[in-house]
Structure 1
Amino acid sequence: MQKKLIGVCLINFLIAALMGLTLRYFFVHPVAFNFRYLTHAHSHVAMLGWVYLMLYLLIVHYFIPEKKPIYNKLFWLTQFTVVGMMISFPFTGYAAVSITFSSLHIFCSYYFVSLVWKNHKVTSPLVRYLLKSSLVFMVVSTIGVWCLGPAAAILGQASAFFQIAIQFFLHFQFNGWFMLAVLAVFLHQFPIDNQALFKRFFNTLIAATVLTFALPVSWFAFHPLLLYINGLGVLLQLLSGYYFILLLKPYWPKFWSGISNVTKAMYTLALVSFILKIILQTASIVPQVAEMAHQYRNFVIGFIHLMMLGVISGFLFAFLLQNYSKSKNTKSLSFGIYAFILGFVSTEVLLILQGVYYFLGLGMLPHYYLILLLCSILLPLGILFFILNLKNYDTKTFKTT
């Protein structure tokens, strides 16, 4: 992969992190920005400028053998839409300009899907299932975006239809497109030949992804049946996690011994976060837990960051770190990685702990917002040190089987 393009993705991530830091600063000292508008900018740049474009590069690098110029051109066109959203959202929120850029990004993603579908070459049928399913979920998720306009015009932004459309997009972006694409890149490193076991893993994972959408629907259009559907979904997800462990078990010792300590640290973050995600979604079987997760914003933000920073970004950073030889793992790179991990863990603990305080009626933690802000500084700091060490990145493909 080209260092320049990776650098673009990381700079997008740094900008998104700085926007997030500014949002946290809002609660310590007033800032001359519209909080909601900046939140939209933060989420769009993080999802579409960092995760989407990094997955774009990884998919093209590992699964497209013939690197046609169109992929570079499409990357830069997509980045243009990200810059447009980066500039417009903080000042206008959802308005004509920002909606135009976000719509253009969706059309770019459709073209990307068509190119990958036509040109991909994947040796393992197992990885091919994951890759193609991730692309399907990407396209399906955008149905939620196209429903926002009619929902707002007909029923208003406070309507259940509007809120469910947002949740539809977020659910199938995070749990469908992002998660399956990351797993495709991760698992293509292993010579998995147990097709029966993989099919059980794949089928339970896909079913769980679809069925667990019932939980966010229940927040806005409650029906007892939705809780049972979600319950089935989380049980299937638990089963898919078990199959995932069985798939990796024969190959894990050799894989683990061949990567550097900082790469191990980032894979540990990603895999532990993945396990926590499954555990937390399993806990949502209990109706009181499901309601609490929706009622207290700290839990919602904590879960989104668990997925975005822990699982998805953890895997993406680990993939990049595998292209640093052990001799190039400098102290500053290690500092950046551990700063990012510490920033993530500390902010997650604070978010969840404050949520528990709210739930128990104990009020605010002492100096909560200030401590949260100080811990959050570690996130952009870690990303910055990663960018500064990009010169040591090796453009060769990490060893796969």
Structure 2
Amino acid sequence: MPKKLVLVCLINFLVAALMGLVLRYVFVSPYLPINFRYVTHAHSHVAMLGWVYLMLYVLIVHHFVPSKKPVFNWLFWATEISVVGMMVSFPIQGYAAISITFSTLHIFCSYYFVRLIWKNQRIKSKPIERLLKASLIFMMLSTVGVWCLGPAAAILGQTSPFFQIAIQFFLHLQFNGWFMFAVLAVFLYQFPITDTPLFQRFFKTLIAATLLTFALPVSWYAFHPILLWINGIGVLLQLLSGYYFILLLRPHWDWFWSKTPKIIKWMYALALISFIMKIALQTSSIFPEISRMAYQYHNFVIGFIHLMMLGVITGFLFAFLLNSRLISIKSKTLSFGIYCFTIGFIATEILLLIQGLFYYFALGMIPNYYWLLFVSSILLPIGILFFIINIINHETKTIKTT
């Protein structure tokens, strides 16, 4: 993988993490002269589009496109320009002319990326090709939610149910569709998976589950009992797809795990445990009381998003990077960075969960909650920074020895 492009992705992630740290600090020192909502927009856009999207871009081109045409490099930098534009404009003006322009540029870059991959990918494995193409279709489909925001805001207002559902449509298909399927494509690429009836059942149930579980966020803004039933069916299908996933991996797991270095095992364990927790939490949404609780208390929503973003998606992406030649996995500083990131992630998740339960049971605030959350969050950018330092140092050593 091109080192410069990977470093750009990680620097984007570092910036997003620092923005998240600023957002945590606002609750410690509320007199910080920033617009909380504007910085939140910047934080989420840079994390999703500057880190996950671009890192998946690099991985997909690296693994699945044998002919590395110059257009892929040009498109990467055009996409990065759109990310930097959002990084700078969102904290200043929120959703306005400049930030919307850069967001629109990113969408058009993503459409062109889909066209290029569809045309130039040369995947021999049919299951991996299906997962990749499904991820790209989900990515394009998710942008329908973005295109609906303008008319919805102008006609119905930003507080309307339709506007909120359009946002949830984009987020749901980005996280559970584009990001999840692309990560699975790269992960399963390491296994000799064939197009068996078992894989087809896994693939079909996962797609159906992804579509049907969108009923839950819809029910938050336009409640109807049938939506809970649709979500329930989607959750059961997701459990079934998880079972099929285990059956797919079981014949190859001992071989794969035995050849995987310890530090990479750590990241895969983080990603897979987070994936299981994600399924478990979505399964619990079958119960109406838990579904309402998840919506009413913001801690649970943030905790779930971070579980997906930092635990599942980033866990897999870090494991893929550790498995490349860009990083010296025997470095003590790298181990320190990974442990910092992991501890920071787990600590913030636990704090968000416990505080959400405190709110639900009317127990008030955890003592020093915001300070604890802020201090735990410091570990996240530290971990990312050590990743970056390791790649830079490893690059320097490689150049010197060649």
Residue 184 (str. 1) matches residue 199 (str. 2): no
Contact 2:327 2:394 in 1 (8 A): no
Matched to 1:24, the amino acid is: R
**Could you tell me whether the CA contact under 8 Å between 1:204 and 1:236 is conserved in 2?**
yes
**1:126-275 paired onto structure 2 within 5 Å:** 126-193=127-194, 195-275=196-276
| Corresponding residue for residue 5 of structure 1 | 5
User: 1:385 aligns to what SS in structure 2?
Assistant: helix
**How do residues 80-159 of structure 1 correspond to structure 2 at under 5 angstroms?**
80-159=81-160
In structure 2, what is the equivalent of residue 72 of structure 1?
A: 73
The whole-number CA distance in structure 1 between the counterparts of 2:340 and 2:198 is 37
Look up the SS of the partner of 1:251 in the other structure: helix
Residues 355 and 390 of structure 1, relative CA distance in 2, 3 Å threshold: same
Query: Structure 2 length as normaliser, TM-score?
Result: 0.97
Aligned to 1:28: 28
Identity of aligned residues (%): 70
Q: Retained in 1: the 8 A contact 2:139–2:173?
A: yes
**Could you tell me how far apart the structure 1 residues matched to 2:350 and 2:230 are?**
30
| Residue 53 in structure 1 maps to residue 93 in structure 2 | no
Partner Cα separation in structure 2 for residue 339 and residue 201 of structure 1: 35
Q: How far off is 1:262 after superposition?
A: 1.2
Distance 1:341 1:207 in 2: 32
Once the two structures are superposed, residues 63-87 of structure 1 have per-residue CA deviations (whole angstroms, 9 ceiling, x without a partner) of 0010000000000000000000000
Q: Is the 8 A contact 2:126 2:195 kept in 1?
A: no
Shift of 1:360: 0.2
Structure 2 Cα separation of the partners of residues 328 and 276 of structure 1? 27
Equivalent in the alignment of 1:286: 287
The range that moved more, 383-392 or 136-145, is 383-392
Could you tell me whether the CA contact under 8 Å between 1:138 and 1:172 is conserved in 2? yes
Looking at structure 1, the residues matched to 88 and 42 of structure 2 have their Cα atoms a distance apart, in angstroms, of: 8
Distance, in Å, in 2 between the alignment partners of 1:211 and 1:331 is 45
- After the TM superposition, list the runs of 4 or more consecutive aligned residues in structure 1 that deviate by more than 4 angstroms: 324-328
Could you say what secondary structure the match of 2:299 adopts? Answer: helix
Aligned-residue offset at 1:393: 5.6
Q: Deviations over 1:292-346 (max 9, x none)?
A: 0000000000000000000000000000001259974200000001110000000
Distance 1:393 1:152 in 2: 49
Counterparts of 1:264 and 1:325, CA distance in 2: 17
Structure 2: segments with no counterpart, 5+ residues: 396-402
CA RMSD of aligned residues (A): 1.1
Find out whether 1:369 has 2:355 as its counterpart. no
8 Å Cα contact 1:328/1:392 also seen in 2: no
1:15 aligns with 2:15: yes
Contact residue 324 and residue 392 of structure 1 kept, 8 A: no
Distance 1:273 1:328, change over 3 A: closer
Counterpart of 2:16, as a letter, is A
Counterpart-to-counterpart distance in 2, 1:317 and 1:125: 25
> 2-side partners of 1:17 and 1:328: how far apart?
23
Aligned to 1:299: 300
Offset of residue 254 of structure 1: 1.2
Q: Hey, what's the Cα distance between the residues in 1 that align with 2:91 and 2:352?
A: 24
Instruction: Give distance in 1, aligned partners of 2:8 and 2:382.
Output: 17
Aligned equivalent of 2:400: none
What is the DSSP-based 3-state SS (H/G/I as helix, E as strand, rest coil) of the residue aligned with 1:42?
helix
8 Å Cα contact 2:327-2:390 kept in structure 1: no
Q: Is the contact made by 2:336 and 2:383 (CA closer than 8 Å) also made in structure 1?
A: yes
Whole-angstrom CA distance in 2 between matches of 1:393 and 1:181: 27
Superposed CA deviations along residues 183-207 of structure 1, whole A, max 9, x for unmatched, are: 0000010001361110010000000
> Which residue identity does 2:273 align to in structure 1?
V
Kindly state the Cα deviation for residue 127 of structure 1 after the two structures are TM-superposed. 0.5
State the shift of 1:391 in Å.
3.5
- Contact 1:12 / 1:46 at 8 angstroms: preserved in 2? yes
Residues 25 and 321 (structure 1), Cα distance of their counterparts in 2 relative to 1, 3 Å cut: same
- Answer yes or no: is the 8 Å Cα contact 2:3–2:326 preserved in 1: no
Whether the 8 Å contact between 2:127 and 2:195 is mirrored in structure 1 is no
Gaps of 5+ in 1: 395-401
- CA shift, 1:258, in A, is 1.2
Partner of 2:358: 357
Does structure 1 retain, via aligned residues, the 8 Å contact 2:285–2:291?
yes
Task: Give yes or no for contact 1:3–1:393 (8 Å, CA) kept in 2.
Answer: no
2: CA distance between counterparts of 1:235 and 1:226? 14
Q: State whether residues 327 and 391 of structure 2, in contact with CA within 8 Å, keep that contact through their aligned partners in structure 1.
A: no
- Give the match for residue 397 of structure 1: none
Aligned-partner SS, 2:67: coil
The residue identity in structure 2 corresponding to 1:23 is: L
Partner residue of 1:399?
none
Aligned equivalents of 1:139, 1:393: Cα separation in 2? 36
- In structure 2, distance between residues paired with 1:100 and 1:270: 34
Aligned to 1:292, the other structure's residue is in SS state helix
